Structures are given as C-alpha cells and as structure tokens.
Amino acid sequence: MNRQTWLFGILFVLALVCFQWFRQDGDIALNDRDFQPDFVARDLASIQYNRLGLPYRGLAAEYAEYYDPLSMTLMEKPVILLYSPDGQPQWRLSGDEGTLNTGDNAVLNGNVVGRGLLPDALVDTLTTEYLELDFINNQLRSNKEVRLQSPQYLAEGQGLLGQLDQQTVELLHETRATYFNP
C-alpha cells in the first residue's frame, strides 16, 4: 500500500471516531434535559388562595414530579380539594395517579373517588376510573363508567359532565338510577 491509501484510511478512522464521540455527547445531553423533572416532592401539600385570602384549591400527593418546560406535574396518590366561593371545602377528589397542567386542568386516573363535603351536597360519593377537572370552565368530565351515591339515590352511567360552580352533575349515557324512600 502506498502513503496516500494509509493517509486516507487514518483520516477516515479519525472522522468516524470524532463523529461517534460528538453524537453520543449530544444525545446524552438532550435526553437528560428532556426527561428529568425540575423538582421532585414527597408528601406534597399545597393550598391556593384567591384575592380575598380564601382558599379555592388544595393539592396533596404522596409523590410528585414537576416539569417546567411542560408546566405539568405528575403525581402518585393525588388528592385535590375544591373550595366554594366562600372558602368552604366543596369536593375532595382522589385517585391512584394524576396530572396537573398548571392553571388549566387536572386529570385523575385509577380508583378515582370524589366526596361532596358540603352539608347540602347532592352527591355524597362519585367513583370512576378517569376524571378530568377543567379549572377554566369549572367542570368535571369523564368518559368512563361513573357511579354517584347519596342517601336518597344510587345512579350509574357512562360519562359525566359536572358544573362545579352550580354544584350539578349529569350522567351522559346508559344511565340507571335507584331512588330510596326514607
């Protein structure tokens, strides 16, 4: 072999080594940045207050990860407390997992249980596998099987639409209800 062939081979190997080295460093930095939470919390508890100093939303979770670029919090065993305009606890919603999109909505998954906390609440217990809370429109939504219970009735159906400010819930499809006489 002549000198030109050796020189060309050495340059090719050097270029291949440089390509591999820079490609690996770039991939590792990109993956670390994209998938690492900005903070992690255990036994998280938070309450948000309105301009009058009254509570309007509370959040607790056994474990939470916050991702700032997405403005999203992933939670395990979340509990969301919703308050009435006068600061009284209105709903306690819990699930196995949850996602909170800052200022927009929250989604609860797996063994979702909602409890009406006001003395005159129409619904004592709401159970489903999926529940979305729309904070902008003050709505509860689900497209899964939902069960509503109170001392006066038991209702089941597919899908739910609720208005938090009006304290109403509506089962959307395949509704079955049993009413009890006191």
Tokens 């395949």 identify what position? 174
pTM attached to this predicted model:
0.76
Predicted local confidence at residue 11, as pLDDT: 73
Predicted local confidence at residue 38, as pLDDT: 87
Are 59 and 147 part of one and the same domain? Answer: yes
Are 82 and 151 part of one and the same domain? Answer: yes
Are 7 and 46 part of one and the same domain? Answer: no
Predicted local confidence at residue 33, as pLDDT: 52
Are 28 and 115 part of one and the same domain? Answer: no
Structure tokens that stand for 140 in this block: 């509860």
Provide the CATH number for the domain around residue 118: 2.60.450.10
* Nearby residues of 125 by Cβ (< 8 Å), 6 or more positions away: 113, 114, 115, 116, 147, 148, 149, 150
Let me know the angle formed at the C-alpha of 137 by 139 and 165, rounded to the nearest 5 degrees: 60
Please report which confidence band the pLDDT of residue 59 belongs to, taking 50, 70 and 90 as the band edges. Answer: very high
> Total structural domains in the chain?
2
Q: pLDDT tens digit string along 19-50?
A: 777 765 544 444 545 668 888 999 999 999 98
Residue 74's closest CA among 91, 46, 96, 52? 96
| Mean pLDDT lowest among 10-24, 39-53, 58-72, 128-142 | 10-24
Residue 56's closest CA among 86, 80, 83, 94? 83
Query: Pick the residue with more confidence: 8 or 28?
Result: 8
Rounded distance between C-alpha atoms, residue 169 and residue 46, angstroms: 27
Are 26 and 56 part of one and the same domain? Answer: no
Query: What are the backbone angles phi and psi of residue 133, rounded to the nearest 5°?
Result: -110, 120
Are 18 and 87 part of one and the same domain? Answer: no
Predicted local confidence at residue 76, as pLDDT: 96
Are 60 and 87 part of one and the same domain? Answer: yes
Are 26 and 53 part of one and the same domain? Answer: no
Query: Pick the residue with more confidence: 68 or 42?
Result: 42
Rounded distance between C-alpha atoms, residue 84 and residue 131, angstroms: 19
The domain containing residue 133 runs over which residues?
39-179
Predicted local confidence at residue 39, as pLDDT: 87
Q: pLDDT tens digit string along 12-25?
A: 777 777 777 776 55
Are 44 and 30 part of one and the same domain? Answer: no
Are 25 and 44 part of one and the same domain? Answer: no
Are 49 and 76 part of one and the same domain? Answer: yes
Are 31 and 112 part of one and the same domain? Answer: no
Query: Pick the residue with more confidence: 182 or 133?
Result: 133
